[in-house]
Amino acid sequence: MKEILQELVDKFNAKDDPRKEKIKDLRRTIVIRFTDDGTYNFKLEDAKLSDVEEGEIQADILVETTTQIFKDILDKKEDALTAYLTKKIKIKAKLMDKLLLSDLLK
């Protein structure tokens, strides 16, 4: 899963998106915990995401799910909102950070 997460990070960092200007001052730590694989973290700083690291750290945004649900969301086989509402994916964060997360992982 680390490779998949790193691809998402690289894709985000490569985007030339004018919305990045609005998040340039945000600092967030993000942890994604896969109940069947492991835990990974990365940081948002200066409108860029850091490389994915293994392990748990103090997080502003914590996501918990299985690898299959995460892959299904990425492949659009599972709707992220439905997965959230049915508790297939759990997100612990402030509302604004939840919205930010949905943008970061597109």
pLDDT per residue over 49-95, tens digit each? 999 999 999 999 999 999 999 999 999 999 988 999 999 999 999 99
pLDDT at 37 over 80: yes
State whether residue 87 is helix, strand or coil: coil
- Domains along the chain with CATH numbers: 2-95 (3.30.1050.10)
Q: Is the pTM of this model over 0.85?
A: yes
Q: What angle do CA 66, 28, 76 make, to 5 degrees?
A: 35
CA dihedral 50, 88, 69, 39 (to 10 degrees): 40
pLDDT at position 66 is 98
- pLDDT, mean of residues 8-13: 94
Question: To the nearest whole number, what is the mean pLDDT of the chain?
Answer: 93
Residue 97's Cα: distance from chain center in Å?
10
Higher pLDDT, 52 or 21: 52
